[in-house]
């Protein structure tokens, strides 16, 4: 079956008791066992270890992202943490994209370094830089592509090949493009990580995360951490996310088309200094974006002439766009990463990787593009 069919039907069967077309919300702590000898006969014992509603979501994500299995979590950062716990210990080393979500940077530098884990934040757009960063103690490569917020791309196939040659697991944060536009496991990666909070939910209704795994060995490791730490997704969140995924392709196509219009508008505007969107021919990695993904996504960023203060005035003048953290929702959101999503990073580190003080990140939603552009145009006139 094709993707649009699978996003609606994968992982779900009509309820055998009632015939309900939607998977029931199994809001239960425990599951009755028929006897001691038939323990686990129905596959479930306690919801920390597995829940039928959550399992339906995991099965759908496994199907859509070409995996062997999926483990879901309470948040996207819980999913990243599970991967860290599964593969990193005292004395271990990991290579991470130098541009990544601020929460990933915080977890690595402010938590895991306390326990003797070392990290190198490398320019993963350059496979040679990744190779140079690898040490004998390297146990994980984590790339984020497109990266948050600069949209820098990693050549997934190239990094996966060098990781495989060295027997190092390669995990890809695929939140920005989802399995609809990009499937890292098909490009050679070992794990595909999602903040399901974003496009998979799509409605600003939940927080959640998932790791889609490409092998039984990695599945066993990550699922052990999932059960041991208890950072599980709730049945209600899984149920809501199952409904959100049904419209994933339609939302992303519409949002991406609008993002392309907005990027073109901003690129031609005299008060805009720089624009970055993978769908623009001016984007440095435009050809890679076309090669490894089937769409460009709905995230973009720009800088206003006049720097930080002009950018702040612009964001305060927006009315249709909402000033808020998060991305991937049906509502269009504007974010200032330096004061919001990436405030934890030292200024010199942000500057080094291109997260400038004047960068405005846009997550394009489902509003009419004419209204979004008119709002930006009016706000730009005010700076």
Q: Which residues are catalytic?
A: 48, 101, 173, 198
Q: Which two tokens stand for residue 240?
A: 């809501």
The strand order across the sheet containing 138-144 reads 69-73, 209-213, 191-195, 170-173, 138-144, 93-97, 118-122
Q: Which two tokens stand for residue 17?
A: 């008791």
Torsion sign, CA atoms 161, 163, 164, 165: positive
From the list 3, 296, 253, the residue with the least C-alpha distance to 146 is 296
CA distances from 314 to 267, 326, 337 (A): 16, 19, 15
Tokens 């820098």 correspond to 152
In eight-state DSSP terms, residue 32 is -
Helix axes 216-229, 76-87, angle to 10 degrees: 110
Does residue 294 contact residue 264 with C-beta atoms inside 8 Å? Answer: no
DSSP helix/strand/coil, 300 = strand
For the residues of 97-156, what is the DSSP string, one character each?
A: ESS--HHHHHHHHHTGGGGT-EEEEE-TTSHHHHHHH--TTEEEEEEESSPTTT-----H
With 0-12 / 13-18 / 19 or more C-beta atoms within 10 angstroms meaning exposed / middle / buried, residue 380 is buried
Strand bridging mode 191-195 / 170-173? parallel
Chain center to CA of 204: 14
What distance in Å separates the CA atoms of residue 77 and residue 105, rounded to the nearest whole number?
A: 11
For the residues of 324-383, what is the DSSP string, one character each?
A: -S--SSSS-EEE-TTTTTTTTS-HHHHHHHT--TTEEEEE--SS-HHHHHHHHHHHHHT-
What is the radius of gyration, based on Cα positions, of the chain? 21
């Amino acid at each position: 079956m094709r993707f649009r069919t699978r996003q609606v039907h994968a992982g779900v069967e009509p309820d055998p008791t009632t015939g309900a077309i939607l998977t029931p919300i199994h809001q239960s702590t425990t599951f009755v066992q028929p006897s001691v000898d038939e323990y686990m006969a129905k596959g479930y014992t306690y919801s920390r270890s597995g829940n039928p509603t959550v399992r339906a979501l995991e099965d759908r994500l496994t199907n859509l992202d070409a995996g062997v299995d999926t483990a879901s979590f309470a948040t996207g950062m819980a999913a990243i943490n599970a991967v860290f716990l599964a593969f990193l210990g005292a004395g271990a080393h990991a290579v991470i994209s130098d541009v990544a979500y601020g929460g990933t940077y915080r977890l690595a530098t402010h938590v895991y370094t306390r326990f003797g884990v070392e990290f190198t934040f490398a320019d993963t757009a350059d496979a040679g830089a990744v190779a140079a960063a690898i040490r004998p103690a390297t146990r994980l490569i984590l790339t984020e592509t497109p990266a948050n917020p600069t949209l820098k791309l990693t050549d997934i196939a190239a990094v996966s090949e060098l990781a495989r040659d060295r027997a190092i697991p390669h995990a890809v944060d695929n939140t920005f493009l989802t399995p609809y536009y990009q499937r890292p496991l098909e490009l050679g990666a070992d794990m595909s990580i999602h903040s399901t909070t974003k496009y998979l939910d799509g409605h600003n209704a939940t927080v959640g995360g998932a790791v889609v795994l490409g092998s039984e060995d990695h599945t066993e490791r990550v699922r052990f951490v999932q059960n041991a730490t208890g950072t599980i997704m709730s049945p209600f969140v899984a149920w809501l996310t199952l409904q959100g995924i049904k419209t994933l392709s339609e939302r992303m196509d519409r949002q991406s088309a609008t993002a392309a219009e907005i990027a073109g508008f901003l690129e031609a505007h005299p008060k805009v200094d720089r624009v970055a969107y993978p769908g623009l021919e001016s984007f440095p990695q435009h050809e890679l974006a076309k090669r490894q993904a089937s769409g460009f996504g709905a995230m973009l960023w720009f800088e206003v002439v006049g720097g930080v203060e002009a950018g702040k005035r612009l964001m305060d003048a927006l009315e249709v766009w909402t000033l808020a953290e998060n991305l991937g929702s049906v509502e269009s959101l504007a974010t200032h990463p330096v004061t919001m999503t990436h405030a934890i990073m030292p200024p010199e580190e942000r500057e080094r990787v291109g997260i400038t003080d004047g960068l405005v990140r846009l997550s394009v939603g489902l509003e009419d593009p004419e209204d979004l552009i008119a709002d930006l145009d009016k706000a730009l006139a005010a700076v």
